[in-house]
C-alpha cells in the first residue's frame, strides 16, 4: 500500500462522492446566472488542470497552453461542420490537441528553465498571430459560430460536470501512478531522475502531450457551450490565465487549479460590478503575494490549516 | 551474465577538456568483475569528472569506455544507467518534496521496468538495508545530511546496478551513517554478496586513507587529471607522489569526524 | 525605392530603441541572472509618463528626465519586493509576471484602454527621396546611441561594472570578498528600469500608447537578449538592430501582421536550432 504523505484513497473517495453530490444538486438551488459561472469555472478548471500537470507535476513553466486550448476549440468547430457527433468531436479535440502537444513538446524539450517559458510565450503569440491572419480558417478576431444544437453554458452544466469529473479522475489516477511519480521526480530533481535512468526528454514530451490533450478538451468544451470560437482563444492572456489560476489555487495538486479557476471567476465577476477593470490589478497583486508569501496557493493554505487543526498528523 | 574474473569496465585514453583546461588526460583503467577500486587524489584532480564521464553525465572529449563488452562512451546518462551503471553524486541528490519511500520507489521503478527484479517488497528491503526503515514517510527535505546520504545510496542501489560509482560516499557524513554506508558497500562487493544484489563492481572516490587502504582491491591516484598510478594498495602507498600527498594530508586528519552536521 | 529607404531608416531607429531596451533587460537578466518579465511594462510606464508630462505639465522634454528616474525607482522596488525569491528562476518569472499584470492593469484603470498619442516635440523634417523624414527619429537614434555608449563604458570600464559582472559569475565568492551583492542587485534593477523608462519616453511620440504594449515588447526583447546571448549586451545590440530592420522591411513587402509572424518565426527558429545560445546556466547547474 502506498504511503502518501497526505490523503489516502479511502478519505479521498469519500470527499469525492460528497463533492460530486453537492455539484449534482447545485443547479436546483442556484439562479441561472450562477450556474453559468459554475459551468465556466469547471471548464476553465479543466484548462488550468492541464497547466498544472505540466508545471506542478513535471516542473515546466509553459505559457503555451492557449495553443492547445485554441486547437481543441477549432477542432470541435470543424468536427461539427463535418457532421460528427458530440462525443466523437470531443475525443477528436483531445487527440488533435494532444498531437499538437506532442509536436510542440518535441520541438522545445531540450530547452530548460526560464528560457523555456520564453519559448512557450513566443509560441503562443505566434499561434495567435497566425490565427488572426488566417481569417479563412479561423474567422480572425471575429470568429465563427459553432453549430451547437443546445448552446449555452448553463444548459450544458451536467455535460461539463461529467467531463470535468472524468478529467479529474484521470488526473488523480495519473499522478498516483508510476508515471506520476516520474513526473514528480523530474520536477524535484531533474538531474537525479536522469541518473536513475529516466529519459527526461521522453517524459517531458509525454507530459506535454497529455497536457495539450486536456487543454484541447477544455477548449473544445468552451467552444461548444458558448457556440462560438475566435482567434482570441489563442491569445496569450489565456495562457496567463491558466498559470494564474493554478498558482493561486495551488500547483501540484489536482484540485488547486479548479479552486483557482472557480475563485477567480467569481472574483472577476464581483469586481467588474464594483470598479471596471480593476480585476487585473487584483490578480497581479495576488500573484505577487502568492509567489513571495504563499507559493502553495489557496490549496496549500487550506491543507496547512486543516493539518494544524488535526494536530499535525504527518505521515 | 558477468562472472567474477571477467573485465567489467575497460577505459582507454579517457580525456575531458573544457576550453583548453584539461580536466582529465588520457586515463586508462580497468575493473574486473567482483573488484573494488578506490580513487584518491587532491581536490580538483578530476575524480568527480572521471565518475561523471563514466556515468555519461558529461561528454567525453576523447577516449573510450567499454562496459561489459559494450561501448558506452557516447550514451546519454539515462541509457548508461539502464545498462547497469549507477552513479551516486558527490553531494546528496534526492527528491526533496517526496517521502523517503517515494524516493526509493521511484528509483526502484526502473529496475522493475527492466525486469531485473520482480520483488515488489524491494523498496522495504532497501530501506531496511540502509537503516531508514522507520523514516519511510518523512519528506526527504527534512532529513539530516547523513540520512540524505543513506537515502542517496539506497536510491543508487535500487536500480540494481552492475557497477556502482560512488563519489565520496562518506564525505561530511556523521560517523554512524558513514559506518552504515561503508559496511554496506563492503558487504555488497563481496563475491558472494548478500541478497544477491547483482552488484559486480564498485568504484568510489575518497579522501580518507583508512577507508582507501582498507577494502578496495586496487587504488588509483589521480593528480591534475592524470592517473599517476593504479595498483594494489601496498604498491600505491609506496609511490613517491602518493607519499607526498598523504604526508600533506595529515594536517587535515584532525578535522575529520567533526564534519557531519547538516550541510 | 524611397519606401525601402524609409523602411530601412525606421528599422534602424527602432532598432536603437530596442537595443536600449534589451540592454536594460540584459543588465538585470544577463548580469544578475534574474528574469524581469515586467521589463516591458516598465517601458510602457515610461511611455505613459511621457504622455502625462506632455498632457499635464506641457513639456515632453521633462519626461526624458522624469521617466528614467521614476521607472528606475519602480525597478528598485521590484527588486526589493522579490528579494526572497530572487534565487529561484521560476518564482522570479512568476513574480515579475504578476507585477506586469499589476502595472498593465493599473494603467488600464487610471488612463483607460484608448490608445494615447504624444505629438512630436518638434516638427522639423529633412528631405529624403523627395519626402520629409522626421528629425525627431534621428534624434531618438542619436540619444539611444549615446546612452548605449555610456552604458558600455559603465559596464566594461568601471569598477561598478566589474562588480556587477563578478556578482553574476559567482555571487557567493563576490559576497565573500566584500562586494555588496544585494545592493548591486538593486542597482542593477534601477539601471535596467531607467533604461526601460527612457526607451519608453523616447519612443512615445512615434507609437500609440496602450497598456498592452508592455508584454508585447517584452517577448521581442527577451528573444533578442537570448539570441544575442545572456549578458552579452553588445551582441544583443546588434541582434536588436537586425531584428528591427528585418521587421521593418518585412512589413513593407508583406503586411504588418505577416511581417511580425515572419520575424517571430525566424527568431524562434534560431533559438530552437541552437539551444547552446540559451545561456551557460546548464553548465554550472550540475556542480563543478
Give me the sign of the Cα torsion angle C247, C251, C256, C258. negative
- Selected residue with higher pLDDT from A127 and B230: A127
Ranges of H-type helices in A7-52? 9-29, 32-52
For chain C, say whether B42 makes contact (Cβ under 8 Å): no
Subunit partners of chain A (3 or more CB pairs within 8 A): B, C
Work out the average pLDDT over B35-55. 89
Q: Is the pLDDT of residue B251 over 60?
A: no
In a domain, C114, yes or no: no
Beta-carbon contacts of C191 under 8 Å, excluding residues fewer than 6 positions away, are C24, C27, C28, C72, C75
In a domain, C117, yes or no: no
Question: Which residues of chain C have a CB within 8 Å of the CB of B91?
Answer: 287
- Selected residue with higher pLDDT from C280 and A119: A119
- Our CA dihedral for A129, A132, A138, A143, rounded to 10 degrees, sits at 130
pLDDT category at B262 given cuts 50, 70, 90 is: very low
Q: How large a percentage of chain B has pLDDT more than 70?
A: 85
φ, ψ dihedrals at B231, nearest 5°: -165, -175
A-interface mutation test, from C98, C114, C223, most A Cβ less than 10 A away: C98
Q: How large a percentage of chain A has pLDDT more than 70?
A: 90
* Rounded Cα distance, A125 and B40, in Å: 54
Q: Which conformational region is residue A278 in: left (phi greater than 0), alpha (psi within -120 to 50 degrees), or beta?
A: alpha
- Selected residue with higher pLDDT from B259 and A109: A109
Q: Is the pLDDT of residue C283 over 60?
A: no
User: Could you say which of B79, B107, B137 has the minimum Cβ distance to residue A196?
Assistant: B107
B106: its cell numbers: 521511484
Give me the sign of the Cα torsion angle B34, B40, B43, B49. negative
E strand segments, B46-93: 62-67, 70-71, 85-88
The rounded Cα B195 to chain-centroid distance in angstroms is 19
Range A36-39 contact pairs with CB under 8 angstroms and sequence separation of 24 or more: A36/A153, A36/A154, A37/A265, A37/A266, A37/A269, A38/A157, A38/A262, A39/A153, A39/A154, A39/A156, A39/A157, A39/A160, A39/A225
Q: How many helices (H) and strands (E) does chain C have?
A: 12, 2
Contact A280 C95 (CB under 8 A): no
* Rounded Cα distance, B76 and A199, in Å: 9
- Selected residue with higher pLDDT from C273 and A63: A63
φ, ψ dihedrals at B37, nearest 5°: -120, 130
Residue C130 vs residues A140, A144, A169, A179, C1: alpha-carbon distances, Å: 38, 46, 70, 68, 11
Q: How large a percentage of chain B has pLDDT more than 90?
A: 31
Q: What is the DSSP secondary structure assignment for residue A60, as one 8-state letter? A: -
pLDDT category at B194 given cuts 50, 70, 90 is: very low
User: Could you say which of C104, C267, C275 has the minimum Cβ distance to residue A111?
Assistant: C275
Q: Is the pLDDT of residue C54 over 90?
A: no
Q: Is the pLDDT of residue B128 over 90?
A: no
For chain B, say whether C275 makes contact (Cβ under 8 Å): no
pLDDT category at B160 given cuts 50, 70, 90 is: confident
Residue B87 vs residues A8, B8, B49, B75, C139: alpha-carbon distances, Å: 34, 16, 12, 14, 60
Minimal CA separation from B243 to chain A, in Å = 35
Beta-carbon contacts of A11 under 8 Å, excluding residues fewer than 6 positions away, are none
pLDDT of residue B43: 82
Minimal CA separation from B240 to chain A, in Å = 37
Contact B48 C286 (CB under 8 A): no
Place of cell 588509483: B220
pLDDT of residue C286: 31
pLDDT of residue A25: 84
Question: Which residues of chain C have a CB within 8 Å of the CB of A279?
Answer: 105
Domains of chain A: 19-309 (1.10.3470)
Q: What is the DSSP secondary structure assignment for residue A7, as one 8-state letter? A: -
For chain A, say whether C267 makes contact (Cβ under 8 Å): yes
Most confident among A276-280, B81-85, C251-255 (mean pLDDT): B81-85
Q: Is the pLDDT of residue C284 over 50?
A: no
Task: Record the pTM.
Answer: 0.85
Angle at A87 between CA A86 and CA A90, to 5 degrees: 85
For chain C, say whether A277 makes contact (Cβ under 8 Å): yes
Give me the sign of the Cα torsion angle B31, B36, B41, B45. positive
* Rounded Cα distance, A281 and C104, in Å: 8
In a domain, C45, yes or no: yes
pLDDT category at C68 given cuts 50, 70, 90 is: very high
Beta-carbon contacts of C142 under 8 Å, excluding residues fewer than 6 positions away, are none
Start-to-end CA span in chain B (Å) = 40
* Rounded Cα distance, C146 and A232, in Å: 41
Question: Which residues of chain C have a CB within 8 Å of the CB of A248?
Answer: none
Work out the average pLDDT over B55-84. 91
In a domain, C122, yes or no: no
- What are the DSSP calls for B99-165, one per residue? BHHHHHHHHHHHHHHTTS---TTHHHHHHHHHT-GGGTTSBGGGS-HHHHHHHHHHHHHHT--SEEE
Query: What is the number of CB-based contacts under 8 A between chain B and chain C?
Result: 6
Q: Which conformational region is residue C218 in: left (phi greater than 0), alpha (psi within -120 to 50 degrees), or beta?
A: alpha
Most confident among A32-36, A71-75, C60-64 (mean pLDDT): A71-75
SS (H, E, C) C132-185: EEEHHHHHHHHHHHHHHHHHHHHHHHCHHHHHHHHHHHCHHHHHHCCCCHHHHH
> Which range marks the domain in which residue C207 is found?
2-109+131-285
3-state secondary structure (DSSP) of residue B12: strand
For A115-129, A226-240, B109-123, B220-234, which range has the lowest pLDDT when averaged over its residues?
Answer: B109-123
Q: Is the pLDDT of residue B80 over 50?
A: yes
pLDDT category at A5 given cuts 50, 70, 90 is: very low
Q: Is the pLDDT of residue B4 over 70?
A: no
Q: How many helices (H) and strands (E) does chain B have?
A: 9, 10
For chain B, say whether C276 makes contact (Cβ under 8 Å): no
In a domain, C51, yes or no: yes
Q: Is the pLDDT of residue B1 over 80?
A: no
Contact C109 A119 (CB under 8 A): no
Q: What is the pLDDT of residues A43-95, one digit of tens each?
A: 999 999 999 999 888 888 898 999 999 999 999 999 988 888 888 999 999 99
Q: What is the pLDDT of residues A141-183, one digit of tens each?
A: 888 888 877 777 777 888 899 999 999 999 989 988 889 999 9
For A279-288, B220-229, C44-53, C253-262, which range has the lowest pLDDT when averaged over its residues?
Answer: C253-262
Beta pairing class for B21-32 and B7-18: antiparallel
Nearest CA in chain B to A184: B98
* Rounded Cα distance, A78 and A98, in Å: 17
pLDDT category at B263 given cuts 50, 70, 90 is: very low
Angle at C9 between CA C5 and CA C13, to 5 degrees: 170
Q: Is the pLDDT of residue C28 over 70?
A: yes
C5: its cell numbers: 529607404
Residue A186 vs residues A26, A203, B111, C167: alpha-carbon distances, Å: 39, 9, 18, 29
Question: Which residues of chain B have a CB within 8 Å of the CB of C286?
Answer: 57
Which one, of A122, A121, A97, lies nearest residue A219 by Cα?
Answer: A97
For chain B, say whether C287 makes contact (Cβ under 8 Å): yes
Question: Which residues of chain C have a CB within 8 Å of the CB of A130?
Answer: 261
Q: Name the architecture of domain B7-94+161-253.
A: 3-Layer(aba) Sandwich (3.40)
Contact B101 A198 (CB under 8 A): no
pLDDT of residue B7: 86
* Residues C197 and C68 sit within 8 Å (Cβ to Cβ): yes
C173: its cell numbers: 565568492
pLDDT category at A139 given cuts 50, 70, 90 is: confident
* Residues B242 and B221 sit within 8 Å (Cβ to Cβ): yes
Q: What is the pLDDT of residues A91-129, one digit of tens each?
A: 999 999 999 999 999 988 888 766 788 889 889 989 999
pLDDT of residue B204: 92
Q: Is the pLDDT of residue A310 over 60?
A: no
CB neighbours (10 Å) of residue A95? 17
Q: Is the pLDDT of residue B257 over 50?
A: no
In a domain, C120, yes or no: no
pLDDT of residue B3: 62
* Rounded Cα distance, A127 and A114, in Å: 20
Angle at C79 between CA C77 and CA C85, to 5 degrees: 130
Query: Which residues 80-119 of A have a C-beta within 8 angstroms of C?
Result: 107-108, 110-115, 117-119
Q: Is the pLDDT of residue A313 over 60?
A: no
Contact C287 B48 (CB under 8 A): yes
* Residues B232 and B36 sit within 8 Å (Cβ to Cβ): no
Work out the average pLDDT over B34-53. 88
Which ipTM did the prediction report? 0.86
* Residues B35 and B215 sit within 8 Å (Cβ to Cβ): no
Which one, of C195, C175, C177, lies nearest residue C185 by Cα?
Answer: C175
Which one, of C84, C91, C83, C109, lies nearest residue C37 by Cα?
Answer: C91
Work out the average pLDDT over C185-206. 89
Question: Which residues of chain C have a CB within 8 Å of the CB of B90?
Answer: 287
User: Could you say which of A178, A188, A195 has the minimum Cβ distance to residue B96?
Assistant: A188
Query: Which residues 48-87 of C have a C-beta within 8 angstroms of A?
Result: 81-82, 84-85
The number of folded domains in chain C is 1
Residue C22 vs residues B1, B93, C32, C152, C226: alpha-carbon distances, Å: 59, 36, 14, 13, 10
Work out the average pLDDT over C206-216. 85
Q: How large a percentage of chain A has pLDDT more than 90?
A: 36
The continuous run of DSSP H or E covering A145 comes out as strand A144-145
For chain C, say whether B48 makes contact (Cβ under 8 Å): yes
User: Could you say which of A182, A197, A315 has the minimum Cβ distance to residue B159?
Assistant: A197
Amino acid at each position: 500500500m502506498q504511503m502518501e504523505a497526505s490523503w489516502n484513497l479511502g478519505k479521498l473517495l469519500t470527499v469525492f462522492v460528497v463533492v460530486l453530490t453537492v455539484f449534482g444538486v447545485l443547479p436546483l438551488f442556484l439562479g441561472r446566472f450562477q450556474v453559468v459561472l459554475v459551468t465556466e469555472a469547471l471548464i476553465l478548471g479543466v484548462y488550468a488542470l492541464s497547466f498544472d500537470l505540466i508545471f506542478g507535476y513535471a516542473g515546466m513553466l509553459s505559457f503555451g497552453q492557449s495553443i492547445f486550448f485554441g486547437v481543441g476549440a477549432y477542432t470541435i468547430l470543424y468536427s461539427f461542420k463535418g457532421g460528427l457527433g458530440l462525443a466523437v468531436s470531443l475525443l477528436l479535440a483531445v487527440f488533435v490537441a494532444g498531437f499538437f502537444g506532442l509536436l510542440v513538446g518535441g520541438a522545445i524539450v531540450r530547452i530548460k528553465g526560464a528560457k523555456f517559458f520564453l519559448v512557450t510565450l513566443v509560441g503562443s503569440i505566434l499561434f495567435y498571430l497566425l490565427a488572426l491572419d488566417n481569417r479563412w480558417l479561423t474567422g480572425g478576431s471575429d470568429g465563427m459560430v459553432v453549430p451547437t444544437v443546445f448552446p449555452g453554458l448553463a444548459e450544458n452544466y451536467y455535460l461539463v460536470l461529467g467531463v470535468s469529473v472524468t478529467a479529474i479522475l484521470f488526473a488523480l489516477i495519473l499522478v498516483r501512478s508510476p508515471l506520476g511519480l516520474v513526473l514528480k521526480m523530474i520536477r524535484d530533481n531533474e538531474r537525479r531522475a536522469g541518473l536513475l535512468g529516466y529519459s527526461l526528454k521522453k517524459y517531458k514530451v509525454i507530459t506535454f502531450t497529455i497536457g495539450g490533450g486536456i487543454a484541447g478538451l477544455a477548449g473544445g468544451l468552451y467552444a461548444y457551450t458558448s457556440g462560438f470560437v475566435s482567434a482570441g482563444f489563442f491569445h496569450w492572456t489565456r495562457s496567463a490565465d491558466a498559470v494564474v489560476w493554478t498558482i493561486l489555487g495551488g500547483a501540484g495538486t489536482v484540485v488547486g487549479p479548479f479552486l483557482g479557476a472557480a475563485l477567480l471567476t467569481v472574483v472577476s465577476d464581483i469586481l467588474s460590478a464594483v470598479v471596471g477593470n480593476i480585476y487585473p490589478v487584483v490578480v497581479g497583486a495576488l500573484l505577487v503575494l502568492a509567489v513571495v508569501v504563499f507559493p502553495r496557493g489557496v490549496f496549500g493554505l487550506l491543507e496547512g490549516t486543516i493539518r494544524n487543526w488535526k494536530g499535525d498528523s504527518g505521515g | 551474465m558477468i562472472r567474477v574474473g571477467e573485465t567489467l569496465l575497460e577505459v582507454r585514453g579517457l580525456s575531458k577538456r573544457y576550453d583548453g583546461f584539461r580536466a582529465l588526460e588520457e586515463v586508462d583503467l580497468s575493473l574486473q568483475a567482483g573488484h573494488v577500486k578506490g580513487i584518491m587524489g587532491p581536490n580538483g584532480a578530476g575524480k568527480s569528472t572521471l565518475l561523471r564521464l563514466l556515468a555519461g553525465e558529461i561528454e567525453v572529449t576523447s577516449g573510450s569506455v567499454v562496459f561489459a563488452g559494450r561501448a558506452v562512451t557516447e550514451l546519454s546518462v539515462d541509457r548508461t544507467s539502464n545498462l547497469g551503471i549507477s552513479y551516486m553524486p558527490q553531494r546528496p541528490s534526492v527528491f526533496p518534496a517526496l517521502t523517503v519511500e517515494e524516493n526509493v520507489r521511484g528509483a526502484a521503478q526502473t529496475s522493475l521496468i527492466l525486469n531485473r527484479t520482480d520483488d515488489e517488497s524491494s523498496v522495504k528491503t532497501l530501506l531496511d538495508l540502509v537503516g531508514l526503515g522507520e523514516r519511510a514517510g518523512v519528506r526527504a527535505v527534512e532529513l539530516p545530511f547523513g540520512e540524505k546520504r543513506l537515502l542517496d545510496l539506497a536510491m543508487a542501489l535500487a536500480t540494481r546496478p552492475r557497477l556502482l560509482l560512488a563519489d565520496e560516499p562518506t564525505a561530511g557524513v556523521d560517523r554512524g551513517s558513514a559506518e552504515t554506508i561503508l559496511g554496506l558497500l563492503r558487504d555488497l562487493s563481496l563475491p558472494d554478496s548478500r541478497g544477491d544484489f547483482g552488484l559486480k563492481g564498485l568504484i568510489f572516490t575518497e579522501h580518507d586513507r583508512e577507508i582507501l587502504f582498507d577494502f578496495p582491491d586496487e587504488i588509483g591516484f589521480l593528480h591534475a587529471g592524470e592517473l599517476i598510478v593504479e595498483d594494489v594498495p601496498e604498491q600505491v602507498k609506496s609511490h613517491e607522489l602518493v607519499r607526498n600527498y598523504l604526508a600533506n594530508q595529515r594536517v587535515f586528519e584532525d578535522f575529520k569526524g567533526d564534519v557531519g552536521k547538516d550541510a | 525605392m524611397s519606401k525601402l529607404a524609409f523602411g530601412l531608416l525606421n528599422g534602424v531607429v527602432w532598432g536603437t530603441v530596442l537595443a536600449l531596451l534589451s540592454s536594460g533587460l540584459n543588465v538585470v537578466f544577463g548580469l544578475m541572472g534574474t528574469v524581469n518579465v515586467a521589463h516591458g511594462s516598465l517601458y510602457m510606464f515610461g511611455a505613459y509618463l511621457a504622455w502625462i508630462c506632455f498632457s499635464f505639465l506641457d513639456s515632453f522634454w521633462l519626461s526624458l528626465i522624469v521617466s528614467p528616474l521614476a521607472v528606475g525607482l519602480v525597478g528598485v522596488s521590484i527588486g526589493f519586493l522579490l528579494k526572497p525569491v530572487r534565487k529561484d528562476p521560476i518564482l522570479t518569472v512568476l513574480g515579475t509576471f504578476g507585477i506586469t499584470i499589476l502595472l498593465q492593469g493599473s494603467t488600464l484603470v487610471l488612463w483607460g484602454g484608448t490608445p494615447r498619442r504624444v505629438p512630436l516635440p518638434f516638427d522639423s523634417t529633412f528631405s529624403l527621396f523627395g519626402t520629409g523624414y522626421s528629425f525627431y527619429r534621428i534624434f531618438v537614434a542619436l540619444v539611444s546611441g549615446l546612452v548605449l555608449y555610456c552604458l558600455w563604458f559603465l559596464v566594461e570600464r568601471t569598477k561598478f561594472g566589474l562588480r556587477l559582472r563578478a556578482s553574476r559569475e559567482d555571487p557567493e565568492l563576490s559576497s565573500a570578498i566584500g562586494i555588496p551583492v544585494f545592493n548591486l542587485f538593486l542597482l542593477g534593477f534601477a539601471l535596467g528600469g531607467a533604461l526601460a523608462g527612457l526607451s519608453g519616453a523616447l519612443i512615445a511620440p512615434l507609437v500609440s500608447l496602450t497598456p498592452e504594449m508592455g508584454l508585447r515588447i517584452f517577448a521581442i526583447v527577451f528573444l533578442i537578449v537570448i539570441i544575442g546571448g545572456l549578458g552579452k549586451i553588445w551582441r544583443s545590440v546588434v541582434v536588436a538592430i537586425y531584428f528591427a530592420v528585418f521587421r521593418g522591411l518585412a512589413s513593407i513587402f508583406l503586411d504588418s501582421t505577416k511581417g511580425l509572424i515572419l520575424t517571430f518565426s525566424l527568431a524562434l527558429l534560431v533559438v530552437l536550432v541552437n539551444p547552446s545560445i540559451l545561456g551557460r546556466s546548464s553548465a554550472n547547474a550540475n556542480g563543478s
